[in-house]
Structure 1
């Protein structure tokens, strides 16, 4: 078998000098030197493929690294959405044109790198993850994402060398904005504050729309100056007179009466008559806070855009037909867009109140049911208090609902991880096989208890193991109102008493009363489920039985530390063997009974026959 020529691994590039040719013979010598001689060519090929496969990494769309990268791409998209039109303002074009070019190159670099990353992004086909580089690249190239990415990187902005003021040549970069939608979906699957994030989305959309409309208004205003003879501050186009600089007093205390202009005997409405006196009075007592030209232009145009698109009005009347057209288009677009935005806000409010609404409906139904059943006031109040607690704590799903909504294997893995770690921290299960603990953890069931609920009563059979998930449980002894033990989160109760031994002083019954102190969540393991798991671990079962026997002997439950276990502790094979032996014994007894019956029946018939003959002979 001849070796195929392949590209060198990055590690091999470090150890192979540049003057050496990357030949198959050199690779074989390197392998022999570091890993020993090989007899078969297939072994060398296998090693070479393993080394090369380490370089073939893929990107998972569901991990945090891809999410952070998507955020960078989204920032580049938002940059293009905003700054592709910003050069309409002449002050920006004069002062920041070179900076704008550098930022454009940075955004384009992010676009280009994102294409490479998406070519290395794995995907699922028929439920199977594909991580082969050729398949990942082919899947990306055949998708709409590649078409949009390719079109968005066509360098139309090279025409800026001929016409530097045509910044809208970068409008094809907007095709990349589908990545913003993908980033939003990724964030919503991982973030918990969905309402705040949705509000942020709405604000961002409004800002971008207001920005575009402000740029259009400014461009139309510049055109208006070329067709209108004179433009005043009462006209529709933009003017600097509407945005004046800020003046403030230089006195230490602005409220001081000595440095204010005397207006006691004058009417405030007649200030225009003595405006010159006011100017002379404050000429050397004030300072001016000057705004840049761009700040004045952008603030007024953005303000006009926000008022127009929200249909609030209070703007100067249009002077030209073109002004009317822009106003009409803005009004129509504003009504449509903000109808969608208001609908989104209404959905957010409805979603935020959905849980409370559903729980309130449940409470109303429970009230009606309890009134129909004529339940007592104490039970009524306990049910309502529990519903109020679940509403305040936002307990949205029960364990059974979650179990039905996710795959069974995934649910078991979650249970094994949570309860398995809790079991491992307790002395009774310490040092045991992790597989055993995970199988035991998979059998736990979650129960919720209200304050004062009696989980275990005195005299109940020891048939459950309790693992406290949250809340507090109190243990009371017989005729004792003061709790002897206070169990907190993570505590375990009733592990050793699940094993019933001969000579139990209390006939396998509980001598303690367990009561929920507040609202608590408890994982419960049934005795039968534990023994079903132990049947699959015959090598570990004797150790657990010995631990239970020793613990019960130390607590005085059994009199002898070597008490024999009962038949129910036997494995499934042993139980089946015992059942088979019992069936054999029963079969033998039935057969003996049948033979005895037949024998007795024959003897009885013979006796009756003799009696009949004797009776006949008498007559």
Structure 2
């Protein structure tokens, strides 16, 4: 069994049932302490469910004996190794204790004493493991956390209910206004009323809403004080959990959608006109209502590069392959380009580009409609829909190879409604093509073919530019050769300089040694000595 697989998750989901059954039902059936009528009236049902849960516990041990484990990142599937590892863990000890045949004590204490099965609670960690696994798989983790918290509160209140009823039985039903009323009253004699009244009373205490009868005996005071102290802890836990869930929701919104509050404050501080503020408000409202994401790269940045590329490829590769110049390109280049795509949303009437603008991006239409309009902004020449693209020539910088338009936009394009586009900038393409020099040449050739077809390429200029580039390339090669020769000569000179320096240092050292052996005399003192002689 793969511990990360779907089958294992489903089995953990099944194991929630027996664990919760023991936690909820066992406390209700305790003889002479809780709802003992529940034990006596439905004995056959409880015995059947008890041993069915024991069977699931036993099957769970078999599943553990067949569940692989990771060693140095590799899934170990050898059954002998799995069994050996499981038998050495504390999980095996807990599983054995939870299935220890304490039911044999029924022969001594009687069949109506289910307290002998209290060891079944030891299997509780399996419940927590199942919840953790489900929380990571569910598409609504915050809703799941709320439901899990409510379940914990219910189980705790349920136990408190049973303790209250047992305490009432110990003190005496109807002995005062705090305990459960006397069962001689038909309204309070049924099992359903006993449980609901006790549960309601426990809820009042644990929620500290008041309206609880005043206690009269020491046991009642102790019970109330303990419940109040626990209620404070439960209340703090609930508030903290709900606050954490709300915080997670806010963080999720901040991760998926841009923060509008700062933009709103900016517009107010600078007193931007109301019409522009309204357009900005509508744009943000559209993003929020329709769940539009404009920062995908920021969301996926925590993933490893390879995994992030695979996610981006699965989402956007088909869109990128619709662009003519990128068709038949190698997959590694497309994967790098997919990571550079930036989603953008344009509101109705917004211009994506205007005639004469310098082309720095290309756009791919994911959703919506764009209109190619005249300078008056009203006359429509064409409508572009989902899957269309434009601006692919501009990001290749075709001006250098004879583009008659001078790498400027040749049309006005504006959004008819709300439009979702993917943008690829010239800088991002240049960065990617620096690692794929062969692909750069292929893309430029495709760009030339498109411009020739559109009659937007000056062939003479392109040829002249090509000759200039060839001449420049030859000059660069000659310069590189000259630099190589200069580097060689420089290295030789440096070597000779180092050798001369070493020789000079050696000679200076010898002279210093001779000076220390034969001290230098003063010429004036020598002449005076000769005169005296």
What is the aligned partner in structure 2 of residue 98 from structure 1?
A: 44
Q: Over residues 432-488 of structure 1, what are the superposed CA-to-partner deviations in whole Å (9 max), with x where a residue is unaligned?
A: 654453343234334454554433221245553322345543333555633434444
Q: 2: CA distance between counterparts of 1:166 and 1:565?
A: 101
Question: Map of 1:10-159 to 2, 5 A cutoff?
Answer: 58-61=1-4, 63-88=5-30, 89-121=35-67, 128-133=73-78, 140-141=86-87, 143-159=89-105
2:154 paired with 1:207: yes
Would the alpha carbon gap of residues 139 and 583 (structure 1) be closer, same or farther in structure 2, given more than 3 Å must change?
Answer: farther
Q: 1: CA distance between counterparts of 2:375 and 2:279?
A: 26
Structure 1 position 575, deviation (Å): 11
2:361 paired with 1:415: no
Q: 2: CA distance between counterparts of 1:584 and 1:233?
A: 105
Q: Over residues 565-603 of structure 1, what are the superposed CA-to-partner deviations in whole Å (9 max), with x where a residue is unaligned?
A: 9759x9xxx99965643637999xxxxxxxxxxxxxxxx
What is the aligned partner in structure 2 of residue 524 from structure 1?
A: 423
* Aligned partner of residue 413 in structure 2, secondary structure: strand
With 173-182 and 376-385 compared, the bigger mean Cα shift is at 376-385
Q: 2: CA distance between counterparts of 1:576 and 1:322?
A: 100
What is the aligned partner in structure 1 of residue 179 from structure 2?
A: 236
Structure 1 position 79, deviation (Å): 1.1
Structure 1 position 100, deviation (Å): 1.7
Structure 1 position 541, deviation (Å): 7.8
* Aligned partner of residue 156 in structure 2, secondary structure: helix
* Aligned partner of residue 187 in structure 2, secondary structure: coil
What is the aligned partner in structure 1 of residue 477 from structure 2?
A: 581
2:191 paired with 1:303: no
What is the aligned partner in structure 1 of residue 111 from structure 2?
A: 164
- Compute the TM-score of the two structures, normalised by the length of structure 2: 0.71
1:197 to 123, 144, 159: 144
Q: Over residues 361-386 of structure 1, what are the superposed CA-to-partner deviations in whole Å (9 max), with x where a residue is unaligned?
A: 96554455456656555555554554
Higher helix share: 2
What is the aligned partner in structure 1 of residue 231 from structure 2?
A: 334
Would the alpha carbon gap of residues 542 and 581 (structure 1) be closer, same or farther in structure 2, given more than 3 Å must change?
Answer: closer
Would the alpha carbon gap of residues 428 and 346 (structure 1) be closer, same or farther in structure 2, given more than 3 Å must change?
Answer: closer
With 433-442 and 353-362 compared, the bigger mean Cα shift is at 353-362
1:184 to 109, 116, 131: 131
Would the alpha carbon gap of residues 203 and 389 (structure 1) be closer, same or farther in structure 2, given more than 3 Å must change?
Answer: same
2:339 to 423, 437, 442: 442
Whether the aligned pair in 1 keeps the contact of 2:320 and 2:326 (CA below 8 Å) is: yes
* Aligned partner of residue 373 in structure 2, secondary structure: strand
Q: 2: CA distance between counterparts of 1:527 and 1:398?
A: 19
Q: 2: CA distance between counterparts of 1:575 and 1:159?
A: 100
2:241 paired with 1:344: yes
Structure 1 position 511, deviation (Å): 1.4
Question: Map of 1:331-410 to 2, 5 A cutoff?
Answer: 331-349=228-246, 351-352=248-249, 363=260, 365-366=262-263, 369-370=266-267, 380-392=277-289, 398-410=295-307
Unaligned runs of 5+ in 2: 484-533
* Aligned partner of residue 510 in structure 1, secondary structure: coil
**Would you say how many aligned residue pairs link Structure 1 and Structure 2?**
475
2:410 paired with 1:511: yes
Q: 2: CA distance between counterparts of 1:115 and 1:131?
A: 18
What is the aligned partner in structure 2 of residue 217 from structure 1?
A: 164
Q: 2: CA distance between counterparts of 1:535 and 1:575?
A: 22
Would the alpha carbon gap of residues 342 and 507 (structure 1) be closer, same or farther in structure 2, given more than 3 Å must change?
Answer: closer
Unaligned runs of 5+ in 1: 1-57, 246-291, 588-619
Q: 1: CA distance between counterparts of 2:211 and 2:81?
A: 59
With 128-137 and 176-185 compared, the bigger mean Cα shift is at 128-137
Whether the aligned pair in 1 keeps the contact of 2:293 and 2:343 (CA below 8 Å) is: no
Structure 1 position 504, deviation (Å): 4.4
* Aligned partner of residue 523 in structure 1, secondary structure: strand
Query: Which structure would you say has the larger RCO, counting Cα contacts within 8 Å and 6 or more residues apart?
Result: 2
The alignment yields a C-alpha RMSD, in angstroms, of: 4.6
Structure 1 position 165, deviation (Å): 1.9
With 370-379 and 518-527 compared, the bigger mean Cα shift is at 370-379
Q: Over residues 85-125 of structure 1, what are the superposed CA-to-partner deviations in whole Å (9 max), with x where a residue is unaligned?
A: 23233433234222222222232333333334345545556
Structure 1 position 204, deviation (Å): 1.2
Q: Over residues 27-68 of structure 1, what are the superposed CA-to-partner deviations in whole Å (9 max), with x where a residue is unaligned?
A: xxxxxxxxxxxxxxxxxxxxxxxxxxxxxxx4133x443333
- Compute the TM-score of the two structures, normalised by the length of structure 1: 0.63
Structure 1 position 82, deviation (Å): 0.6
2:118 paired with 1:175: no
Structure 1 position 407, deviation (Å): 2.6
* Aligned partner of residue 484 in structure 1, secondary structure: strand
2:417 paired with 1:475: no
